[in-house]
Amino acid sequence: MKITIVGTGYVGLVTGACLAESGQDVVGLDINAERINSLNRGQIPIHESGLDDLIAAQSQAGRLSFTTDYSVVKSSDVIFLAVGTPQSHDGSANLSAIWSAVDELARHVTPEMLVVTKSTVPVGTNRKVLERFRSHLANRAPGVASNPEFLREGSALKDFREPDRVVVGVDEAATAERLQRLYAPFLQRGASLLVMGLESAEMTKYVANCFLATKISFINEMANLCDSVGADINDVRKGIGHDQRIGFSFLMPGVGYGGSCFPKDVRALSQVAVAHGRDPVMLRSVDQVNEAQKHVLFQKLHRHFDGQLHGRKIAVWGLAFKPGTDDIREASSLVLIERLLAEGAIVKAHDPVAMPNVRTVFGDRLELNDDPLEIVAGADALVLMTEWPEYRSPNFEQLASLMSQRTIFDGRNLYDPNQVRACGFRYKGIGR
| Active site positions, annotated | 261
Residues 251-270 that bind ligand NAD (CB under 6 A): 260-261
250 alpha carbon, distance to own chain's centre: 14
Burial (CB < 10 A; 0-12, 13-18, 19+), residue 311, is exposed
Distances (CA, A) of 430 to 18, 89, 409: 38, 31, 9
Rounded least distance, CB 326 to ligand NAD, Å: 11
Q: Is 132 in the site for ligand NAD (CB under 6 A)?
A: no
What are the φ and ψ backbone dihedral angles of 177, each rounded to 5 degrees? -65, -40
Q: Is 95 in the site for ligand NAD (CB under 6 A)?
A: no
Number of Cβ atoms within 10 Å of the Cβ of 40: 13
9 alpha carbon, distance to own chain's centre: 12
| Cα separation, 152 vs 143, whole angstroms | 28
Rounded least distance, CB 91 to ligand NAD, Å: 14
Q: Which stretch binds ligand NAD (CB under 6 A): 93-101, 131-139, 314-322, 384-392?
A: 93-101
Q: Which of 28, 84, 253, 429 binds ligand NAD (CB under 6 A)?
A: 84
Q: Which of 3, 6, 203, 340 binds ligand NAD (CB under 6 A)?
A: 6
Give the residue from 171, 263, 160 showing the smallest Cα distance to 217.
Answer: 263
Residues 101-130 that bind ligand NAD (CB under 6 A): 101, 119-120
86 alpha carbon, distance to own chain's centre: 12
| Cα separation, 51 vs 29, whole angstroms | 17
377 alpha carbon, distance to own chain's centre: 32
Rounded least distance, CB 268 to ligand NAD, Å: 9
Q: Is 27 in the site for ligand NAD (CB under 6 A)?
A: no
Q: Which stretch binds ligand NAD (CB under 6 A): 20-28, 95-103, 237-245, 424-432?
A: 95-103
Q: Is 10 in the site for ligand NAD (CB under 6 A)?
A: yes
Q: Which of 9, 142, 280, 411 binds ligand NAD (CB under 6 A)?
A: 9
- Is there a contact between 411 and 391 (Cβ–Cβ < 8 Å)? no
Which CB atom, from 67 or from 369, has the smaller least distance to ligand NAD?
67
Residues 35-54 that bind ligand NAD (CB under 6 A): 35
| Cα separation, 174 vs 84, whole angstroms | 28
State the residue number with the nearest CB to ligand NAD.
9
| Cα separation, 63 vs 16, whole angstroms | 10
Which CB atom, from 44 or from 226, has the smaller least distance to ligand NAD?
44
Q: Is 155 in the site for ligand NAD (CB under 6 A)?
A: no
Q: What is the pattern of x (binds ligand NAD, CB under 6 A) and - over residues 189-228?
A: ----------------------------------------
| Cα separation, 180 vs 310, whole angstroms | 60
Maximal C-alpha separation, the chain: 74
Which CB atom, from 83 or from 375, has the smaller least distance to ligand NAD?
83
Total binding residues toward ligand NAD, as defined by CB under 6 A:
26
Task: Please name the helix (run of DSSP H) or strand (run of DSSP E) that holds residue 227, with its range, or none.
Answer: helix 198-229
Q: Is 272 in the site for ligand NAD (CB under 6 A)?
A: no
Q: Is 149 in the site for ligand NAD (CB under 6 A)?
A: yes
Residues 368-407 that bind ligand NAD (CB under 6 A): none
| Cα separation, 168 vs 201, whole angstroms | 6
CB proximity list for 345: less than 8 A, separation 6 or greater: 309, 310, 311, 312, 313, 314
Q: Is 65 in the site for ligand NAD (CB under 6 A)?
A: no
Which CB atom, from 122 or from 417, has the smaller least distance to ligand NAD?
122
How many CA atoms are closer than 13 Å to the CA of 258, on its beta-carbon side? Answer: 24
Rounded least distance, CB 36 to ligand NAD, Å: 9
Residues contributing to the site for ligand NAD (CB under 6 A): 6-12, 29-32, 35, 82-85, 97, 100-101, 119-120, 149, 151, 153, 260-261
